[in-house]
Structure 1
Amino acid sequence: MEKKELRHHVLQKRNALSQEQRERFSRQACHELLQCDRLSQAKVVMAFHPFGEELDILPFLEEARERGVEIWLPLTVPSQRRLVPYRYDGPQMLKQGVYGIWEPNPDLAEEGDCSRLDAILVPGVAFDRRGGRMGYGGGYYDRFLAALQHRPFLVGICFSIQVVDQVPMEPHDIRLDALVTEKGFYHS
């Protein structure tokens, strides 16, 4: 019940942000992402397309692509409860997925080779500064991250109001290396 209550509480706070706050905080967080040395050295970064009231990282994705970084976005495969990364070449190759999230259209996109991943930007509901992350409850990212043969640099992305003292962690949960909010970049 602890996770369910925390998820509800944090989403309620996030949804209460005004559109102006969400846009301003998203710009500030994208600036922080662009200043990160580990991300600026990365050649291949898996990210996510923001959904609903999530922090908007699209400006970071476009700037990173202009700088020559290969960006990948995940396709959700609910029947297998897994994520499959595809190269992102712009909004023209996206389709609305099963959860309403914009995802790569496999007919228009090239599947990514996970051994090439340098970094992954990870969405979620709540985070702590020790690398804890609580997602939306489907376990997609934890399964994806656990299956990787090597560990890329893992960065949580959220508004500062989504940072809590401690996220309840289970043995299968993967800790992140860093966290970015509109207030800065924090290493775990």
Structure 2
Amino acid sequence: MEKREIRRFITDQLNQLEHREQKEQQIYDHLFALPEWKNAQSIAITLSFRNECATEPIILKAWELGKQVVIPKVMHQEMRFFEYLPNSPLIETKMGIREPDDQAVERSLSAVDLCIVPGRAFTRQGYRVGWGGGFYDRVLADYHGHTLAVAFERQLVSAFEVEPFDQPVQQIVTESEVVVCQ
């Protein structure tokens, strides 16, 4: 399958997902038990989009534990990260993605301990199909912290064409397991 077909297939799979809240809670339970989560003083995470696993509970837990949270914003075809606090104003892009407003304080991703990477589909080797902009692949090329993705089991696929610039995540946390990649 081509990446465009995979995106469409996974969207259909996620639209049909039953017991979503229960499965999300299982994902959170697995995530919060990981040493990479426990040891992280700062996390980078996206605000969930469309029918992805909800990230708000992860952000709330991070704040509760005193972790710094940063979220991405695309500016001039480049992804940059900004501090996200409980009262931070957000703006919505044309695609419906919520991002920090112009008053947000920029933070370097290299100073972040754990980057939770979004995606539509994943292989067990950690490669991902995103929305097609390549933004995460570019920022992860120079990132040396820990990377993982939270995803429903249905988002795991056997294979797709991996391109030279694709950056895999180190772990994928699903409702049924933590996949250690590579």
Give me the TM-score of the superposition, normalised by structure 1: 0.89
Relative distance call for 1:91 and 1:29 in structure 2 (3 A) is farther
Q: Supply the AA of the counterpart residue of 1:132.
A: Y
Match of residue 22, structure 2, among 21, 24, 38 = 24
What is the CA–CA distance in structure 2 between the aligned matches of 1:17 and 1:114, rounded to whole Å?
33
Gaps of 5+ in 1: none
CA deviations over 1:115-141 (Å, ceiling 9, x no partner): 311110011110011111111111111
Alpha carbons 1:30, 1:57 under 8 Å: kept? no
User: Partner amino acid for 2:96?
Assistant: G
Deviation of residue 114 (structure 1)? 2.3
CA-based RMSD of the aligned residues comes to 1.5
Contact 2:10/2:154, CA 8 A, preserved across alignment: yes
Of 129, 134, 148, which aligns to 1:134?
Answer: 129
Superposed, 1:67-106 pairs within 5 Å as: 67-77=65-75, 80-90=76-86, 92-106=88-102
The correspondence of residues 1-188 of structure 1 with structure 2, limited to 5 A, is 2-18=2-18, 21-77=19-75, 80-90=76-86, 92-107=88-103, 109-146=104-141, 148=142, 150-188=143-181
Contact 2:88 2:100 in 1 (8 A): no
Per the normalisation by structure 2, the TM-score is 0.92
- Counterpart of 1:103 in 2: which secondary structure? strand
Report the Cα distance in structure 1 between the residues aligned to 2:149 and 2:124, rounded to whole angstroms.
10
Measure, in 2, the Cα distance between the counterparts of 1:66 and 1:45.
Answer: 13
**Percent of aligned pairs with the same amino acid:** 30
For 1:42 and 1:116, how far apart are their aligned partners in 2?
11
Whether the 8 Å CA contact 1:126–1:167 is kept in 2: the answer is no
Offset, 1:34 = 0.8
Partner Cα separation in structure 2 for residue 61 and residue 31 of structure 1? 14
Give the unaligned 5+ runs of structure 2. none
